[in-house]
Amino acid sequence: MSSAPEDIQTDLYRERLLQETMDKDPNCRSFDWKVLQRAKPAVVATTYIGYTALTAPPFFDNVVRGN
């Protein structure tokens, strides 16, 4: 990723697209979001508790930091 502050938005967008592409590949081992997305309706989850906003999947209504 680039280090210039003006490139942060572009870098984050690129990383999100990469993650989404990887999630669509059945041979890819990065399946965290896939699991969360399928589990979300099963437990009626609306809030994601994580480390930072950068780790939060975009399909939750609310995001908060854990302890």
**Which residues sit opposite 50 in a β-bridge?**
65
Reported as type and span, the H/E element at residue 9 is: helix 8-24
pLDDT in tens, 29-39: 666 777 888 88
User: Whole-prediction pTM value?
Assistant: 0.50
Interval 44-64: pLDDT, tens? 989 888 766 667 788 888 888
Distance (Å, whole) CA 38 – CA 35: 5
